[in-house]
Structure 1
Amino acid sequence: MADQVILFKEQQRFRQFWLWAIILGAAALFWAGFIYQVALGGQFGNRPVSDVQLAVLFALMGVCMPWFFYYVKLTTEVKPGEMRLQLRPFHVRPVVIHLHVVRHYEKVLYNPVRDYGGWGIRWGFKGKAYNMSGNEGVKLYFYNHEPLLIGSQDADKLFEAIKLAKELK
């Protein structure tokens, strides 16, 4: 029954303004082209594609791409003795980290682009990272493999939950 106790749970999405400006700007371009060419009967651009091709591009870039970036979500859950990470839609099941194999952990400030190459599931010179936005997290050091950074909007609570979960086992 103790395994059902959730000490910490956080769900994160992409929140970067510049990322959403690019995604929605590109989507708006495809919306405008689709409306102008298909609905109003004009020709969009100097060398317009067919209405069918434009409809496919509109569906992919104007609808599916923004939906995909909205759908991506990192869920971090800490329970006694374990931590679960799931980056939807890339993980069908959560990645389970048994905390008894964690040698040391610390709250860190990091630069997502410089240290790990961006956001998402990233591999860098400093190890692997799961992060969605921001520059705070908890870094786990293991006995048997490279460090793992978990980005969090509330790194203090995540750190305290890991501390408690290791004690409770």
Structure 2
Amino acid sequence: MRKQNHVIYREIQKPRQIWAWVLVMLIALLFWYIFIQQILFGIPIGSKPAPDVILIIAWFLFGVIFPAVMIGFIKLITEVRKDGIYVLFMPFHFHYRNFLYKDIEDYESIDYDLSNFGGWGVRINLKGEKAYTMYGKQGIKLFLKNETVVIGTQKPNEIIKAIDLLTRKG
């Protein structure tokens, strides 16, 4: 395993939106209901029920795997290290996305609106700006040589302070 660069600041964000959890649980419950009715009790669902194999696969994906991933694995990790800012959006990224200080021309703390990016997650807006956000409306905006990136944070002052310390801006 590769040695990690010294971490100065680390923030881990997990989803907190009630509506998202309700949606995940409703989807899971629907697939559990269909699975129990058709597979366990032998009562077909609908006028043209799906074959049992397809139903078992769908139940496993949306009744077991999907909620497990949403509850246990989804998180946004932001790290300020000696050489740059690192972002990992689990389970969608397999490796940290890094934004090295040598490529950062400027940065600032911002308040943004969901309309800027169309929601939370990994997003690209009409201006070509990329965002890594979990929840909330605060973040830092990185002006890189070739792109602009927004990283959502619940502690913008702390992350800016850490970056200032390392870039000697503060």
How does the TM-score come out when normalised to structure 2?
Answer: 0.86
Q: Give percent identity, aligned residues only.
A: 34
Separation in structure 1 between the aligned mates of residue 7 and residue 54 of structure 2, nearest angstrom: 48
Tell me how large the CA RMSD over aligned residues is. Answer: 2.0
Unaligned runs of 5+ in 2: none
| 1:131–1:152 Cα contact (<8 Å) kept | yes
- SS of residue in 1 equivalent to 2:7: coil
**2-structure distance, mates of 1:149, 1:109:** 10
The structural deviation recorded for 1:167 is: 2.2
Q: Quote the offset at 1:42 in angstroms.
A: 2.2
Find the partner of 1:90 among 86, 89, 92. Answer: 92
Counterpart of 1:141 in structure 2: which amino acid? F
Question: 28-37 or 118-127, which moves further after superposition?
Answer: 118-127
1:80·1:164 contact (CA, 8 Å) conserved in 2? no
1:14-29 alignment to 2 at 5 Å? 14-29=15-30
Larger RCO: Structure 1 or Structure 2 (Cα < 8 Å, ≥ 6 residues apart)?
Answer: 1
Per-residue CA distance 1:84-127 (angstroms, 9 max, x = gap): 11122332221121113322211111112x10122221111341
TM-score normalised per structure 1: 0.86
The residue type equivalent to 2:59 in the other structure is F
The question of whether the paired residues in 2 share the 8 Å contact of 1:100 and 1:166 is answered with: no
Count of aligned pairs: 164
The one-character-per-residue Cα deviations of 1:12-32 (angstroms, maximum 9, x if unpaired) are 223222122112101100101
Q: Indicate the residue corresponding to 2:32 in structure 1.
A: 31
| Contact kept? 1:8, 1:161, Cα under 8 Å | yes
Gapped regions of structure 1 (runs ≥ 5): none
